[in-house]
């Protein structure tokens, strides 16, 4: 699953140390991220062109995090398919998907195996369409190249967003007054919050991907093979007519060769202005986000958000004494690490280690740019990291807190330090799909969780058992 990559540590005590392999990498596979993004399309059925094991692994991972049923089809490579190609399996798989699911869109992601043998998936799609050219209402077919040896789940997510926009966006019709919001790898609850914010500014917004319902639905009386929700294909088509694109995240999938984001593609091919801004976590980044929406909409920031900001400032004052100068380890997807590090520095935490499995080569400079005067010069910044490398460095840093996903729990347990779970995946707690960190309210929730986690740890380790903190 893309773990046998060469990893290099840069900065701090591990400068210059190299590894020829990775054990327990701080990332997941690229097709996994692609499937999450594809689930943000209305009426979609994701399909992996590769072995059945890839689909099973990804389904298990997504179901454990989102607590929702997730169907992912597979072309089911065998030894024969690996040698002679997957054309026959591909056609049979598409036939089965159409007959059993009747999707609007079949979104196909490649895997390491199909990429290694050089399978031309776009050619397979074109051949299938040619064979069935006399049939009406064939589903849209989208293809994203996502070998794990060339990227992480985060890059697979953004590659799928790009591939979808590239396949569907058009320039037919009158230019619109709407904007595109490419929302990044965030929780369904945060997507809902972005939709609320956009509506409150009076903006007509195409938010993609929107898996706020498909990966966080209601209880059903009868199983639905394709859940309701997702960005409508017709809305994705009009992204090429938008007034502007707004991308949340500074790094996105910019680590690979010749990779462009969805916003960059629309700017190059459809002259849609593209603006890139950080994930709105904390006051500084959320201020930038809200001020930009105010400029675009020509409307003032709604009073309810001004009050939310005021309550967050008040909470910072209340809780500052508990977090000031505490040392934090932050890890996960690169843009989430940047957002959390900026938030940590803003509230008084010291981010002593910022680590990611991503290998864009841009993490350190992005952190310096975003944190500015709050950048901690002795911070260890690592890309292509494994959890073993993180643990080795943490032994000398002696941090007070870890902020990241569930995969780091064993380190927190071994080192007897608390963990604030955020990002992906969260497999050992309920409610990951409802977690919030974006906007003033999300930042308030995250700040309270960090403070209360530190307080609980202090109580737990105290011989007295203080009830008043």
Do 240 and 227 form a contact (C-beta atoms < 8 A)? Answer: no
CA separation for the pair 174, 143 (Å, rounded): 28
Helix (H) or strand (E) holding 355: strand 350-356
Taking domain 30-277, whether its CATH number is 3.40.50.1980 is answered by yes
Q: How does DSSP assign 147-204, residue by residue?
A: -GGG--HHHHHHHHHHHHHHHH----S---S-EEEE--S--HHHHHHHHHHHHHTT--
pLDDT in tens, the chain (469 residues): 443 333 334 433 344 455 556 678 899 999 999 999 999 999 999 999 988 889 999 999 999 999 999 999 998 887 766 665 678 889 999 999 999 999 999 999 999 878 888 889 999 999 999 999 988 889 999 999 999 888 899 999 999 999 999 999 998 878 889 999 999 999 999 999 999 999 999 999 999 999 999 999 999 989 889 999 999 999 999 999 999 999 999 999 876 666 899 999 999 999 999 999 999 999 999 999 999 999 999 999 999 999 999 999 999 999 999 999 999 999 999 999 999 999 999 999 999 999 999 999 999 999 999 999 999 999 999 999 999 999 999 999 999 999 999 999 999 999 999 999 999 999 999 999 999 999 999 999 999 999 999 999 999 988 887 777 7
Same fold, 30-277 and 312-461: yes
Contacts of 141 (CB under 8 A, 6+ apart): 94, 105, 106, 107, 108, 125, 128, 129, 167
Closest CA to 204 of 173, 172, 238, 174: 238
Domain spans of the chain? Answer: 30-277, 312-461
CA separation for the pair 105, 103 (Å, rounded): 5
pTM over 0.85: yes
Distances (CA, A) of 62 to 13, 112, 199: 35, 19, 29
CA separation for the pair 184, 338 (Å, rounded): 13
Domain 312-461: give its CATH architecture. 3-Layer(aba) Sandwich (3.40)
């Amino acid at each position: 699953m893309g773990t046998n990559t060469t990893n290099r540590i840069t900065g701090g005590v591990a400068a210059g140390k190299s590894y020829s392999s990775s054990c327990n990498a701080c990332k997941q596979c690229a097709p996994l991220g692609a499937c999450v993004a594809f689930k943000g399309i209305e009426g979609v059925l994701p399909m992996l062109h590769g072995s059945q094991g890839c689909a099973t692994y990804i389904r298990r991972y997504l179901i454990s995090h989102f607590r929702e049923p997730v169907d992912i089809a597979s072309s089911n490579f065998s030894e024969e398919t690996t040698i002679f190609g997957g054309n026959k399996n591909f056609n049979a798989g598409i036939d089965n998907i159409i007959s059993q699911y009747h999707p609007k869109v079949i979104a196909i992601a490649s895997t390491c195996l199909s990429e290694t043998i050089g399978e031309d998936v776009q050619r397979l799609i074109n051949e299938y369409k040619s064979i069935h050219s006399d049939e009406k209402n064939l589903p849209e077919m989208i293809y994203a190249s996502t070998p794990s040896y060339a990227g992480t789940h985060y890059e697979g997510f953004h590659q799928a967003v790009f591939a979808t926009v590239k396949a569907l966006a058009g320039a037919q019709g009158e230019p619109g007054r709407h904007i595109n919001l490419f929302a990044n790898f965030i929780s369904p609850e945060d997507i809902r919050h972005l939709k609320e914010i956009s509506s409150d500014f009076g903006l007509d917004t195409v938010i993609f991907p929107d898996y706020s319902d498909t990966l966080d639905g209601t209880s059903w009386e009868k199983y639905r093979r394709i859940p309701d929700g997702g960005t409508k294909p017709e809305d994705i088509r009009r992204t090429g007519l938008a007034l502007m694109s707004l991308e949340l995240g500074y790094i996105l999938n910019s680590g690979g060769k010749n990779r462009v984001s969805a916003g960059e593609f629309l700017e190059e091919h459809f002259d849609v202005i593209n603006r890139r801004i950080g994930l709105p976590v904390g006051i500084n980044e959320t201020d930038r986000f809200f001020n930009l929406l105010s400029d675009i909409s020509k409307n003032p920031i709604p009073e309810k958000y001004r009050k939310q900001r005021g309550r967050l400032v008040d909470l910072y004052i209340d809780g500052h004494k508990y977090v000031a100068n505490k040392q934090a380890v932050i890890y996960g997807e690169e843009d989430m690490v940047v957002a959390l590090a900026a938030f940590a520095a803003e509230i008084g935490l010291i981010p002593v280690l910022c680590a990611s499995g991503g290998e864009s080569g841009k993490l350190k400079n992005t952190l310096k740019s975003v944190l500015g005067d709050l950048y901690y010069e002795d911070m260890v910044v690592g890309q292509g990291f494994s959890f073993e490398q993180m643990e080795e460095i943490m032994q000398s840093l002696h941090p007070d807190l870890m902020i990241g996903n569930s995969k780091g729990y064993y380190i927190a347990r071994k080192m007897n330090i608390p963990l604030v779970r955020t990002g992906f995946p969260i497999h050992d707690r309920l409610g990951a799909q409802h977690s919030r960190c974006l906007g003033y309210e999300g930042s308030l929730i995250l700040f309270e969780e960090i403070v209360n986690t530190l307080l609980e740890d202090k109580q737990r380790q105290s011989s007295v058992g203080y009830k008043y903190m």
